[in-house]
Every structure is written in C-alpha cells, then in structure tokens.
Amino acid sequence: MDHKKIAKQLMELHQTAFNNPFNPVALSQDNSEKNFFRFVDKNPLFPDNSKDAIQEYLVTSRKRRSDCKPHCDEGCEEFTKYFLTNRLHHRNK
C-alpha cells in the first residue's frame, strides 16, 4: 500500500477519534455549567463578586474549548498536506 494513503488514512482516523467525543463533552460541560449556576443563583451564600469571578472563569474556559477544535483541525490538515506533498522514501536494507 502507498505510504501517502496510509498516512492520510491514519490522520483521518485520529481526526475522527478526536471529533467524535468532542461535541458530547462540550454539551456535557455546558449542561453542568447551567446546573451549577442554577444552584449558585439561588444560594444566598455566594456574593455577587464570587458569581462574577466564576462567570468570567467559565467564559474563558468556553473560549479556550472553542479555540481548541479549529486548532486541532488545522494541525491535522497541515500534517496531512505535508505527507501528501512530500515524498516518503521506503528504504529496503
């Protein structure tokens, strides 16, 4: 089998293995945030500045999570493109 085909199939496999669990994990995190804030909003023991700090942390976390997927997709595309454009030599000794 051609090395380029093998490299492309392996990268597609790794990309699929990353993409399949990513969306359910993101949905689970969003649901957990909603449930947590229902608890925090109804609890008088949390002062407003603590709620604001938690909200800021979650917004930053959400942003980093949304930035992660395009970054990984771009890396997979570049890696695949590298293997498709360059020659891979197989040496028989």
Q: Which two tokens stand for residue 90?
A: 């197989």
The separation between CA 25 and the C-alpha centre of its own chain, rounded to angstroms, equals 9
| Span 53-85, pLDDT tens digits | 988 988 898 899 888 888 888 888 888 787 777
Q: Sketch the domain layout of the chain as residue ranges.
A: 3-15+31-40+48-85
Tokens encoding 82: 């590298």
Name the residue among 90, 80, 85 with its Cα closest to residue 15: 80
pLDDT in tens, 25-43: 889 988 988 888 888 888 8
Q: Distances in Å between the alpha carbon of 59 and those of 33, 47, 84?
A: 10, 19, 38
Q: Contact 65/79 with Cβ under 8 angstroms? A: no
What residue has token string 């669990």? 21
pLDDT in tens, 40-61: 888 888 888 888 898 898 889 8
